[in-house]
Amino acid sequence: MFFIFRAIHSPATFPIAAMNQLEQLKQYTTIVADTGDFQSIKAFAPRDATTNPSLILKAVQKDEYKPLLEKTVRDHAGESTADIIDRLLVVFGAEILKIIPGRVSTETDARLSFDTQGTIDKGRALIALYEAAGIARERVLIKIASTWEGIRAAQTLEKEGIRCNMTLLFALPQAIACADAGAQLISPFVGRIYDWHKKSTGQEYSGADDPGVQSVKRIYTYYRKFGYPTEVMGASFRNTSQIIELAGCDLLTISPELLQKLADSDAPVARKLSAEAAQSADLRKLTLDEKTFRSMLNDDAMGTEKLAEGIRLFCADAVKLEKLIDALR
């Protein structure tokens, strides 16, 4: 889960004295705490949060969260396993919304990643469950894989007032297509890009040389250069160097461990990204139809491989969650 602190962007571009790194970073960006523990939500007092089936699977195996799983299965024993999972996701989301003032993200089944209508139906169903629980759709983001089919589903959902968080995003064509579709937010994965390049080249990367950092900077600059309102939330960090290099990004999602490291350091943090600086970038606006999107993504070996891998992993965890539920029926 990702838990979000809202901070006011400061126009300053120089390090702020007498603050730890986390406090400095909050002057430039919205800080996101990445955790599946309700206690951490309360401790960090975040504004927004996000879930996915992998994090729900991890959570419901803990003693403190098993009662939520057992009650959901018991209360809806006559429904399909897929419907019970939807209800479980919404139960978790509703509980989180009791703690936070902002939005919660709830993910669609990764097995629908190449099914546009299936994703649309799932998004509508999840929103209907939230609204039945008395939660306005404005407080929910539907999380969808950034495939061509997922992006088309998001375009339809956004027109219906169902806001979307586009995940498993590794390449610029994905980001451009998401913005053109009017997606509310994207989650480019810094750490997984770093992992791929490190494995591919055998090199270590740090700071501005990190390929994951460069990818998010490129996307952020493109969006601001051409006036897209879609929010950029850097995700999947491996170290604080990656985080510091993206100071100024709209949102950054950071694990509790890395948040603590930032809080324990008083090293200076300078803003690295800004809408103003993006205006001077030498970029050409691209128009992507389906053929161009698929061709560009296919040319990006990292993006293609990590997208496929991410979908497989989320699908596997969805199956594990189904088995866990079936064992309780």
Tell me the pLDDT tens digit for each residue of 106-131.
999 999 999 999 999 999 999 999 99
Question: What is the pLDDT, as a whole number, of residue 15?
Answer: 52
Tell me the pLDDT tens digit for each residue of 258-302.
888 998 999 999 999 999 999 999 999 999 999 999 999 999 999
Q: Which of 71, 48, 66, 68 is nearest to 1 (CA)?
A: 48
Domain count of the fold of the chain: 1
Burial class (CB in 10 A: 0-12, 13-18, 19+), 309: middle
Residue range of the domain that includes 31:
2-7+12-326
CATH number, domain containing residue 89: 3.20.20.70
3-state secondary structure 198-264: HHHHCCCCCHHHCHHHHHHHHHHHHHHHCCCCCEEEEECCCCHHHHHCCCCCCEEEECHHHHHHHHH
Q: How confident is the model at residue 5 (pLDDT cuts 50, 70, 90)?
A: very low
Question: Of 10-24, 52-66, 100-114, 286-300, which one has max mean pLDDT?
Answer: 286-300
**Active-site annotation holds for 143:** yes
Q: Which of 179, 285, 308 is nearest to 225 (CA)?
A: 285
Burial class (CB in 10 A: 0-12, 13-18, 19+), 135: middle
3-class secondary structure, 54 = helix
Tell me the pLDDT tens digit for each residue of 212-237.
999 999 999 999 999 999 999 999 99
Tell me the pLDDT tens digit for each residue of 125-170.
999 999 999 999 999 999 999 999 999 999 999 999 999 999 999 9
Q: Which residue of the set 143, 217, 225, 272 is catalytic?
A: 143
Question: How far, rounded to the nearest angstrom, does the alpha carbon of residue 223 sit from its chain's CA centroid?
Answer: 17
The reported pTM is 0.90
